[in-house]
A and B are shown apart, each in its own frame.
Chain A
Amino acid sequence: MRAKVQSIRQNALPDALPDFRNLGVMSRVLLAVNGLALLFALVRSNDIAGFTNAFAEIAGRLEPLLLSVMIVLYTMSGLLHRFAYHYGVLSIFVIVLAMTTALFPFEIMPGGSNGWRELAWNLTCAALATGTLERYFHLRNRAFSPAVSESRLQALQARIRPHFLFNSLNAVLSLIRRDPKRAEAALEDLAEMFRTVMADNRELITLSDELSLCRQYLNLEQLRLGERLQVAWQVEPAVEQALVPPMLLQPLVENAVYHGIEPGIAPGVIEVRIGRQDKYLALHLSNPYHEEHQHRQGNRMALANIAERLQLHFDVEASLRTGTVNGRYEIDILMPFRDGS
Chain B
Amino acid sequence: MSGMRLVIVDDERPARDRLRELLEDCRSELPHVVAGEAANGIEGLQLAASTGAEVVLVDIQMPEMSGIEFARHLQLFETPPAVIFVTAHDQYAVQAFEVNAVDYLTKPVRAVRLLAALKKAVSGARLARGVLERIDPQPRRHLSIAERGRVTLVPVSEILYLRAEQKYVIVRVAGREHLVEESLTQLEQEFAGLFVRIHRSCLVAQRLVRGFERGIESDAEAGWSVVLEGCEEKLPVSRRQWPVVKSLGKGRR
> What residues of chain A have their CB less than 8 Å away from a CB belonging to chain B?
162-163, 165-167, 169-171, 173-175, 177-178, 223-226, 262-265, 292
Segment with Cβ contacts to A, from B10-18, B121-129, B178-186, B224-232: B10-18
How far is it, in angstroms, between the C-alpha of A171 and the C-alpha of B106 when the chains are bound? Answer: 13
A170 close to B14 (CB less than 8 A): yes
Q: A167-B88, A169-B108 are in contact. List 18 more A-B contacts (CB 8 A).
A: A162-B89, A163-B61, A166-B106, A166-B107, A169-B107, A170-B107, A173-B18, A174-B14, A174-B17, A174-B18, A175-B14, A223-B14, A224-B13, A224-B15, A263-B63, A265-B40, A265-B63, A265-B64
**Per-residue A-contact encoding for B53-75, CB less than 8 Å = 1, 0 else:** 00000000101100000000000
Chain B: how many interface residues by the 8 Å CB criterion? 21
A171 close to B90 (CB less than 8 A): no
Question: Which secondary structure dominates where chain A touches chain B?
Answer: helix
B21 close to A177 (CB less than 8 A): yes
The verdict on A171 contacting B88 (CB below 8 Å), with A166-B107, A178-B17, A265-B63 known, is no
Name the interface residues of B30-71: CB closer than 8 Å to any CB of A: 39-40, 61, 63-64
Tell me which of A166, A174, A263 has the highest count of chain B C-beta atoms within 10 A of its own C-beta.
Answer: A174
Q: What are 22 A-B pairs at a CB distance below 8 A?
A: A162-B88, A162-B89, A163-B61, A163-B88, A163-B90, A166-B88, A167-B12, A167-B107, A169-B108, A170-B108, A171-B14, A171-B15, A174-B21, A177-B21, A224-B13, A224-B15, A226-B12, A262-B63, A263-B64, A264-B63, A265-B63, A292-B141
Neighbouring A residues of B61 by C-beta, 8 Å: 163, 262
The verdict on A171 contacting B12 (CB below 8 Å), with A166-B106, A265-B63 known, is yes
Specify the chain B residue showing the minimal Cβ separation from A295. B138
Top 9 nearest A-B pairs (CB, nearest first) are A174-B18, A174-B14, A171-B14, A162-B89, A166-B88, A170-B107, A224-B12, A170-B108, A174-B17
A276 CB to nearest B CB, Å: 37
Name the interface residues of B69-91: CB closer than 8 Å to any CB of A: 88-90
B38 CB to nearest A CB, Å: 11
How far is it, in angstroms, between the C-alpha of A225 and the C-alpha of B11 when the chains are bound? Answer: 8
A226 close to B18 (CB less than 8 A): no
Neighbouring B residues of A166 by C-beta, 8 Å: 88-89, 106-108
A328 CB to nearest B CB, Å: 17
A257 CB to nearest B CB, Å: 12
Neighbouring A residues of B63 by C-beta, 8 Å: 262-265
How far is it, in angstroms, between the C-alpha of A37 and the C-alpha of B13 when the chains are bound? Answer: 70
Neighbouring B residues of A165 by C-beta, 8 Å: 89
The verdict on A174 contacting B15 (CB below 8 Å), with A166-B106, A265-B40 known, is yes
A173 close to B108 (CB less than 8 A): yes
